[in-house]
Structure 1
Amino acid sequence: MRRLLAGLAAVVLAGSLAACGTDSDKSPTAEGGVDKVKVGVIPIIDVAPIYLGQKKGFFASRNLELSLEAGQGGAAIVPGVVSDQFQFGFSNMTSLMIAQTKNVPIKAIAAGVASTGEAGKDFGAVVVKGDSPIKTAKDLAGKKVSVNTLKNIGDTVTRESVRKAGADPAALQFVEMPFPNMPAALADGQIDAAWVVEPQLSTIKAAGGREVASTFVDAAPNLTVAAYFTSTKLLESNPDVVKRFTEAVNESLTYADSHPDEVRAILADYTKIDEKLRASLVLPKWPTQINEASVQTLSDLGSKDGIFTGAPDLEKLLP
């Protein structure tokens, strides 16, 4: 759920490289009938299914050799997919819609992660210190709220929580900082509230913090938060690889959704979340279908709040 705008300039560079016939001429390489594909991911709970699917052989059974490479977020992953550094990537829906409005040639191909749909039992929320005078989302108006990236999904869903509570979302003061820095910033009083996801959500609650808004739940029922995507170039040049990858992702999502203990265990392979915290985390949902109505709501809210320069074309972006 991550920074994108700064990285979009890299797309222009990638386009220039393509015109010169360099890296963008590459496609997945095959040895003995096996296609090697690189996937840009973010080392967070959301992508546990693809790590689990790799371990379970869901990709290998479809003749795909998966290389998972950690990126800092959309700023690296979206341009990386466009320039063929990665064949596939993972990103939150708002970042993908921002890219689409700037005519970046990408397309979502599979669901990534979704809200649980249960207020107070979701993997993302706005939290405050235990002794904070802020009791509800309405009290957030005029307060400093941290988000990991300005003008992105955190802004959008937090504004909607405040709006639904009957306060003015324009009065919010957003402060950008990385998720890992938020617990200390909240404890020190640098911010009044923090929009966080797991594991920071459980970390803050364990220290006595309180949840005042289940923002994904407030935004839309069963919100699709993120998706896997590829370049339109790969879709056209090698649709079979995209088809097999999508099938393997869907099998991975289904498996992860029904095997939470294995999800918690796989987190030890690619995150630094300790065993005790892994056991207490609120896991998201991993459906195989993108909830298009919820993405449309995100689009409408983002347009209303000035996140997008133009209305996203969801027909072009979504599968």
Structure 2
Amino acid sequence: MLRRTFSLLAAASVLALTACGSGSPSSTGGTAQGGAAGGGDLTKVSVGVIPIVDCAPVYLGNKLGFFKDEGLQLDIQTATGGAAIVPGVVSGSFDFAFSNLISVMVARDKGLDLKFVANGASTTGEKGKDVGGVVVPAGSPIKSAKDLAGKTVSVNNLSNIGDTSIKSAIEKDGGDPSSVKFVEVAFPDAPAAIANKQVDAAWILEPFMSKALADGGTVVSWNFVDVSPKLDIAGYFTKADTIMNKPELTQKFTRAMNKSLEYAQAHPQEVRDIVGTYTKIDEAARSKMTLTHWTVTFDKDAFKTLGDAAAKYGTLSKAPNAGDLLP
């Protein structure tokens, strides 16, 4: 995820020199030989992703040949989050990439002409069964979102989708979001942080949330659902000039990505299986985790709600226009 303060040019330069994964970055629309059993030319496309459950569809689609069917050879490269992925797209290291909505909103707010081409992950819309929430330890006096006022809450990155959505949930519940102290704790470390009472509450995503709940924790805010039960969390994006100058490439990627999203939603066991190929999540944990909801459409009303909240709480200088960012 994208930090609020970063040097895009510096980060892009670093990415261009180090190349975030195996192989060298492709140039948008370039061709690479092979990839298919029968040979032939495929267009090599570099895709930046985060090694989390949400990105399962692109791995599944690649395995099942959905992208090859469109004449594309994917070079899937992993990064830690938007702080690397957004500059990677800007520099050309990635042709397309996955990131949460706020990260791309912030980049656009800073003058970068980026746009989504496909959905990536959405809330399940179900309190009690979503991919993330704000967890408190056993015996905590915090019972709901409004009780987080005046407390210390961890998120994986500051000024991003975590704290923005939590502030919105707190205010909707009648609390004062301005009184919350947010600190950064990586998701894998969050269960221990609340168990050891280093923080009062922690925002945690699956599969780490299941661990925290198994340790006796309780969810006091399903913050994505609290913002909107139709909230889209992330998507695949690229530069606007790629969409303009390479429309056929963009359409091919979008078609294959949409097919991958639909397949993932309809085949949860295959999702759990493929997650084990690109993460260290063991089979037992994969079998229990709540899966993301995948859909090919964006909900513009939920997008506006999230964007308005980001502007209200200072994550953005102004609310974004959905038409500028969504397909």
1:140 equivalent to 2:148? Answer yes
Q: What is the aligned residue count?
A: 312
1:241 equivalent to 2:249? Answer yes
Structure 2 alignment gaps of length 5 or more: 18-23, 34-39
Corresponding residue for residue 306 of structure 1: 314
1:71 equivalent to 2:84? Answer no
Q: SS of the counterpart of 1:5?
A: coil
Q: Give the aligned residue type for 1:53.
A: G
> Are the structure 2 counterparts of residues 66 and 7 from structure 1 closer, same or farther at C-alpha, using a change threshold of 3 Å?
farther
Corresponding residue for residue 268 of structure 2: 260
1:8 equivalent to 2:8? Answer yes
Aligned pairs for 1:1-319 (under 5 A) are: 1-3=1-3, 5-10=5-10, 26-30=27-31, 31=33, 32-319=40-327
- Percent identity between the two aligned chains: 47
TM-fit CA distance, 1:25: 10
CA distance in 1 between counterparts of 2:81 and 2:7 reads 9
TM-fit CA distance, 1:2: 4.4
Q: SS of the counterpart of 1:174?
A: strand
TM-fit CA distance, 1:310: 2.7
Q: Give the aligned residue type for 1:26.
A: S
TM-fit CA distance, 1:311: 2.8
CA distance in 2 between counterparts of 1:314 and 1:243 reads 20
> Are the structure 2 counterparts of residues 257 and 24 from structure 1 closer, same or farther at C-alpha, using a change threshold of 3 Å?
closer
Name the Cα RMSD after superposition: 1.9
TM-score with structure 2 setting the length = 0.91
CA distance in 2 between counterparts of 1:199 and 1:5 reads 28
Indicate if the aligned counterparts of 2:25 and 2:94 stay in contact, CA closer than 8 A. no
Q: Give the aligned residue type for 1:165.
A: D
Indicate if the aligned counterparts of 2:206 and 2:289 stay in contact, CA closer than 8 A. yes
Structure 1 alignment gaps of length 5 or more: 18-22
Describe the superposition over 1:9-35 as per-residue Cα deviations: whole angstroms up to 9, x where unpaired: 437869xx9xxxxx9993332134310
Q: Give the aligned residue type for 2:64.
A: K
CA distance in 1 between counterparts of 2:72 and 2:66 reads 9
TM-score with structure 1 setting the length = 0.93
CA distance in 2 between counterparts of 1:165 and 1:95 reads 25
Q: Give the aligned residue type for 1:147.
A: V
Indicate if the aligned counterparts of 1:92 and 1:226 stay in contact, CA closer than 8 A. yes
CA distance in 2 between counterparts of 1:249 and 1:69 reads 16
